[in-house]
Structures are given as C-alpha cells and as structure tokens.
C-alpha cells in the first residue's frame, strides 16, 4: 500500500497567528491530517475558540497565547511544549504585524519597531527555540509565512515589505545551516488574501481594482487556498524540499 505522504499523525504542530485568517486555515488543515495543533496568537480566548472548534470536529488541538514580539512569551510557550508534549515536529511562523499603511518617508519609530519585533525578531527566535528542540529529536519542519511583498515591495507598505524580504532571507539561512540536522525550512509567499490583516487593501475599492487587474485569476484568495501549500511543505510530500519560497498569488508575479 502506498504511504500517505500528507499524513501528520503523531506530529505536534505549533501555528502562530492561528486565531483567524490564514493561520486558522492552516491549523484546521494540519489537524485534519492527524497533527495535534497548538493554536497560538496574542489572545487566549480567540485561540481557545479555534482549538475547541477543531476538537469538536473530531481532531486534536489545544490553545496557548503567545505574542511573538515578546521574548518572555516565546520562552513560555516552548517551556509549555516541552513539559506537555516533549517534542515539536512542525512550527508555522504565521503571526505578523503591519501597523502602518502610508508613505515610507512617514514611517514612525513605533510602527518600525513593532513590525520588526514581530516579523523579524519574532520569527527568528521562534525558529531558534523550535530548532533547538528539533535538533535534539533528530529533525522537524519550520514554515515561515512571508509575502509576495518580500519579492516586490508593496506600495505604501514599505517596512512590512522590508521585513518580509528579511523572512525570505531568514528562511534560506536557516535551511542552509539546519539541513544537516534534518530540519527543513521553507516559506509560503501569499498574494492578496481576504483576511482582516489585508483589509486596508481589500476594503479600498480603488486599490482593490488595481490589484485585481494585476492578478491573472482575477480575484482575491481565500485563506483556505494558502493552507494546502503549507500542508505540502510540512509533510513528507516535500521531504527533499528545503530553502524553498513558494509563491501563491493567483499569478500576480507571473
């Protein structure tokens, strides 16, 4: 019988920014394939609601609040994972910040700091914490949610685009150094997706019309349309794939 390459039974998966949007879709799909998913974001109530819903559907999930911009909270969630599960097989760095939409010259320090703390520092130290556990258990998978803005800067999204370019570089750096440890590291680069996070774009008719004109499929993505690529990248279906940046943008960059 052929092995199910997408089977995640027995895996422990941590998904950040999982209380809604792309992160929630990822959490639900990974759980449906057998993983125990730790649903994480800043607010425990929102995380618990998603985890409870996943359990109600017959799958395995729990909730743990973590603001990835706070080092103490990163330490706390990995202490919890070590004591509760003793392993982590999959980390999905999906939480992100984009507090400023406007001309790059008018970016203030607070917006700069928040975006960098979450999107770069948060991803980096979440990855090192998970990677140290994976090193001890002889392997694992890290998936970073970057953005097409990391390849082509978004208008009036300067610091966000800069941080997502850094995530792409970070993915490649971790992949190169962690490959010998049997730790694979890849990135998802979503295009315009219908989430609250992207509402500054999707609710602006003028901006949306321009964006849709540039997308060959002619529509905004649904969050669920990102989750399938993540399942591929964290499963044995991609066992020889590391350092990859997979664009899922409806053909926009084509």
Tell me the catalytic residues. Answer: 160
User: Tokens standing for 222?
Assistant: 């649904």
- Residue in this structure with the two tokens 């969050």, named with its chain if needed: 223
Residues, the chain: 254
User: Helical H runs in 179-238?
Assistant: 199-202, 205-213, 224-234
| Separation of alpha carbons 85 and 103, rounded Å | 45
Lay out the sheet containing 12-16: strands in order across.
Answer: 60-63, 36-40, 12-16, 90-93, 140-145, 183-190, 245-248
Q: Are 123 and 167 in contact (CB under 8 A)?
A: yes
| Separation of alpha carbons 88 and 81, rounded Å | 7
| Separation of alpha carbons 50 and 61, rounded Å | 9
Q: Are 167 and 119 in contact (CB under 8 A)?
A: yes
**H/E element holding 247?**
strand 245-248
The dihedral of CA 10, 67, 201, 161: what is its sign? negative
Strand 60-63, strand 183-190: pairing = unpaired
| Separation of alpha carbons 98 and 161, rounded Å | 9
Residue 73 C-alpha from the chain's centroid: 18
């Amino acid at each position: 019988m052929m092995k199910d390459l997408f089977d995640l039974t027995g895996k422990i998966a941590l998904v950040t920014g999982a209380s809604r949007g792309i992160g929630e879709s990822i959490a639900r799909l990974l759980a449906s394939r057998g993983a125990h998913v730790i649903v994480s974001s800043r607010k425990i109530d929102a995380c618990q609601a998603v985890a409870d819903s996943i359990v109600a559907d017959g799958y395995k999930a729990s909730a743990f609040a973590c603001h990835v911009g706070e080092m103490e909270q990163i330490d706390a969630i990995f202490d919890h994972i070590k004591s509760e599960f003793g392993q982590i097989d999959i980390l999905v760095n999906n939480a992100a910040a984009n507090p400023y939409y406007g001309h790059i010259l008018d970016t203030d320090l607070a917006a700069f700091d928040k975006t960098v703390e979450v999107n770069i520092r948060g991803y980096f130290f979440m990855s090192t914490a998970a990677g140290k556990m994976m090193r001890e258990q002889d392997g694992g998978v890290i998936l970073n949610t970057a953005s097409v803005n990391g390849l082509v800067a978004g208008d009036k999204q300067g610091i966000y685009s800069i941080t997502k370019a850094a995530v792409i570089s970070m993915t490649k750096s971790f992949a190169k150094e962690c490959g010998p440890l049997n730790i694979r590291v890849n990135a998802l680069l979503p295009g315009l997706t219908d989430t609250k996070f992207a509402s500054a774009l999707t609710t602006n008719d003028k901006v949306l019309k321009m964006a849709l004109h540039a997308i060959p499929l002619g529509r905004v993505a649904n969050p669920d349309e990102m989750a399938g690529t993540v399942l591929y990248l964290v499963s044995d279906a991609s066992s020889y794939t590391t350092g990859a940046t997979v664009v899922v943008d409806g053909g926009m960059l084509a």
